[in-house]
Structure 1
Amino acid sequence: MLNYKDMYKVLTQVEACLNSRPLTQLSSDPNDLSALTPGPFLVGDAMNAIREDNLSQETTSHLSKWKQMQRAVQIFWKRWSMEYLCRLQQRPKWMFKQPSLQIGDLVLLRDERLPPLKWKLARMIDIHPGPDLLVRIFTIKTSDGTLKRHLSKLCPLPIDTNN
């Protein structure tokens, strides 16, 4: 059981998670994979997390107070990031031939393995229509290189600067 002071520390880390989310792209430069987040407006710099072991599967009886706090943050992050990405994701049910994502868009890449405060960004560089002319596969550019990903692994940023 966490006391008031420890719960305050956990909620501060949760606040950092919420304020690390990308809102919109900073530029239309295809080589720029950076996004605007609420964090710099609040603390003057990007919010970063320290690398930690995954504690979300550990039982609480075996954890120290610090590890219990980190476990609480990791459980929050896992649930909140998945719900947030699901909310961002567009599900057109394959009824439209024109994709909702366009070449040049900056998108979030769904990756359940990322630790708190880490968001993988990618730039759309090509679309691949299927035999039915519906677009489900995209070529994206990340900081690690070029990949092909299914639409279900890509999320548009919440603020569209193209309109």
Structure 2
Amino acid sequence: MGNLPPQRITPDYPFLSVGLDFAGPFTIINRKGRGSRLIKCYLCLFVCLRYKCIHLEAVSDLTKDAFIMTLRRFIARRGRPTEIFSDNGTNFVAAAKELGSFIKQNQEPLFDFASQNLIKFKFIPAYTPHFGGLWEAGVKSAKHHIKRVIGNSHLTFEEISTLFTQVESILNSRPLCPLSSCPNDLLSLSPGHFLIGRPLTAPPAQYLGDSKENYLQRYERLEKIQQHFWQRWQRDYISEMQQRTKWKSNAAKLSVGDMVLLSEDNAPPLSWKLGRVLRLITGSDGIARVADVTTNRGCVRRSLVRLCKLPTAEELRG
């Protein structure tokens, strides 16, 4: 496991360095009443790298203008970030091809907008979602349960925006650590403390978990969906708080010049992409986790977990 980057451990304002990811699509209706039709919308997630605060935005479509307006709404409410980290586009969301090609097709206009606002866009290497574990965990916490609690319900854009905001409040109220070491202090530190200086609390509402949807108004159905999300998410979050063991030893033994096999998710049958390691890129702790590989189609940058070293003649004889 590598060292945490400076953006994770240096105290500063919330949302100064953020991770960005998209999720979806979600099916909604364009308006209430008879004659409505189904359309798509998407979830845009911003996560603060320092304090794990989460900001959720509903996006109507995958266009450059829609994303820039989403970014403007985020800046207007949370302040302008100095750095935005994101996936590389080719694996933006593996299940949705339109999400995967969105950033790739609009890199130049997004860079122009960001540079005008003194924002740096930084992309992690391709096919390495574990490099963006912070925002991937946020997408899992939000999207995994939102899709399940919505089910076959078709909300309007205003309703799903409200739901995303309520989900954001739930995620920002999660306990991170004790607020003090006093044995009589039962309060915990949450991302909400860094946003408003105190815990986020919801106004009391009637429990609707056992109510039938046929007898509920649209707002009550939305409240029931939020309560259902809370029940599912809190069970998963408690289980994730248990100790996890991962990447405790350095198993990579690549050297410059080694022939490797590139692990590609969408490679056609019998097409093995081979290459030779051109350069190993080390982190602040001196351990290499990314390499530049020369292939017959040029030089590509890949994480070591996506490279499989071919045994040499000496290793085969030994």
The residue that corresponds to 2:182 in the other structure is 29
Q: Deviations over 1:9-59 (max 9, x none)?
A: 011011100100110112111111111100122234321111112112222
Matched, 1:69 2:222: yes
**Aligned-partner residue type, residue 59 of structure 1:** K
Percent identity over paired residues: 40
Bigger helix fraction: 2
**Aligned-partner residue type, residue 10 of structure 1:** L
Matched, 1:6 2:159: yes
| Corresponding residue to 1:49 among 180, 190, 202 | 202
Q: Normalising to structure 1: TM-score of the pair? A: 0.51
Give the number of equivalent residue pairs: 91
Structure of greater relative contact order (alpha carbons < 8 Å, 6+ residues apart) = 1
* Aligned residue runs from structure 1 range 119-130, under 5 A: none
* Aligned residue runs from structure 1 range 71-150, under 5 A: 71-89=224-242
Q: Deviations over 1:122-142 (max 9, x none)?
A: xxxxxxxxxxxxxxxxxxxxx
- CA drift at 1:82: 0.7
Q: Is the deviation greater in 75-84 or in 58-67?
A: 58-67
In the aligned structure 2, how far is the partner of 1:89 from the partner of 1:52? Answer: 31
- CA drift at 1:66: 1.0
In the aligned structure 2, how far is the partner of 1:33 from the partner of 1:44? Answer: 17
In the aligned structure 2, how far is the partner of 1:32 from the partner of 1:65? Answer: 40
Q: Normalising to structure 2: TM-score of the pair? A: 0.27
Higher Rg: 2
In the aligned structure 2, how far is the partner of 1:48 from the partner of 1:4? Answer: 25
Structure 1 residues 44 and 32: CA distance shift in structure 2, 3 A: closer
Q: What secondary structure sits across from 1:80 in the alignment?
A: helix
- CA drift at 1:60: 1.7
Q: Deviations over 1:109-150 (max 9, x none)?
A: xxxxxxxxxxxxxxxxxxxxxxxxxxxxxxxxxxxxxxxxxx
The residue that corresponds to 2:173 in the other structure is 20
Where does structure 2 lack aligned partners over 5 or more consecutive residues?
1-153, 245-318
**Aligned-partner residue type, residue 18 of structure 1:** L
Q: What secondary structure sits across from 1:48 in the alignment?
A: coil
**Aligned-partner residue type, residue 177 of structure 2:** T
In the aligned structure 2, how far is the partner of 1:58 from the partner of 1:90? Answer: 37
In the aligned structure 1, how far is the partner of 2:172 from the partner of 2:234? Answer: 12
Where does structure 1 lack aligned partners over 5 or more consecutive residues?
92-163
In the aligned structure 2, how far is the partner of 1:32 from the partner of 1:45? Answer: 15
- CA drift at 1:90: 5.7
C-alpha RMSD over aligned residues:
1.8
In the aligned structure 2, how far is the partner of 1:34 from the partner of 1:75? Answer: 25
In the aligned structure 2, how far is the partner of 1:63 from the partner of 1:90? Answer: 41
The residue that corresponds to 1:113 in the other structure is none
